[in-house]
Amino acid sequence: MSRRVTQLLPAAHTGDATGNSALHLAAALRTVGYEAEVHALTIDEGLRGTVLPMEALAAPGPDDLTLLHFAIPSPLSELLVEADGTRALVYHNLTPPELLLPFCPDVAALTARGAAELCELAMSGRIDAAIGVSDFNCEGLRAAGFERTRTLPLALDLSQYDVESDPIVTAQEGTSPTTFLTVGRIAPNKRLESFVRAAAYYVNHIDPNAQFVIVGGNRGLERYSDALAELASSLGLDGRLRWVGRVPLADLVGWYRSADVYMCTSEHEGFCAPLLEAMHFGLPILARHAAAIPETLGDAGLTFGDDDPATLAEMMNVLVTDAPTRERLISNGLQRVALFAPDLVMQRWLEAIDEMIGKP
């Protein structure tokens, strides 16, 4: 009988990098002879059947591996501690509560509970392997009390983006004004106010026709998104800043293909998968030098620490107008994203799982 690897997710959302990585890993495990399932407490409709409900979870045996993807507190932590067999934690990071206040006090309280829960998992002595998807995350694991950690990056299959763009978005390619794109949840730690203020300076002092696009949902974060919208309006960005929300894959692909520059103003990321997506689409990147962002970005973009709007706008303009710099960063990005190729990353995961589970 083959050994089983069960991955646990608090929530399985369509398009979420963590969930996609878990499903990709499960598929790879099956190809090498493991039984592999992904279970979640909540599952988006489009993932039902692919991700299984917790009610369908079979008790692990002594030769099995249970792997919890940890990004929020949940009852799954207790389930992991009590599981038979090998128990592993994959840490996707927790946003520091102070970055979520004052707009999202409920979310801040949730991440604070998550930090306490992570420490409890470390103190339990029951976790056999602690994995961070970045070195930055491993630092967080050690701070929580895990003595031995290892870094294994997200297993992302970027070939899913090699599809037809939405025709409406595609129609803008080559005809739209210079477009700056950012992708991700509209959350306070993303520091999108920096994006908005830089956009206003760019429009007022460099290119009045430039377009700025924010792709991402704001569910549960409406206070912050409302404040951003008010800021954008006060800066005169009506008509130049587009909020397109959470979009289907074809739309997302279209926005990447129509963009000229990708921007990441986030202050806290445990990995930042959109950076690799932008590299995949051949976009030069401007990103904040913070958390795991430099680790994922490598030499594929320019980074900033000072988010003064004038400074950012000038750097943005370099990525638009300086052809040698732009071409160098695009080339670097394509080379860097190759280092995260699914077969290379998956081989590292498979070797680690063989080691954890004691497979000869």
Given a cut of 60, whether residue 1 has pLDDT beyond it is no
pLDDT of residue 268: 97
Is residue 24 classed as helix, strand or coil in its secondary structure? helix
- Summarize pLDDT for 234-266 with one digit per residue, the tens: 999 988 999 999 999 999 999 999 999 999 999
Domains of the chain: 4-156+341-357 (3.40.50.2000), 163-339 (3.40.50.2000)
Name the pLDDT band for 360 (thresholds 50, 70, 90). low
Taking the CA of residue 115 as centre, how many other CA atoms within 13 Å lie in the half-sphere pointing to its CB? 12
Q: What percent of the chain is modeled with pLDDT above 70? A: 97
> Region 298-321: what's the mean pLDDT?
97
**If 0-12 CB within 10 Å is exposed, 13-18 middle and 19+ buried, where does residue 187 land?**
buried
pLDDT of residue 167: 72
Distance CA 178, CA 321 (A): 10
Largest CA distance in the chain: 67
> Region 86-97: what's the mean pLDDT?
97
The more confident residue out of 267 and 102 is 267
- Summarize pLDDT for 294-306 with one digit per residue, the tens: 999 999 999 999 9
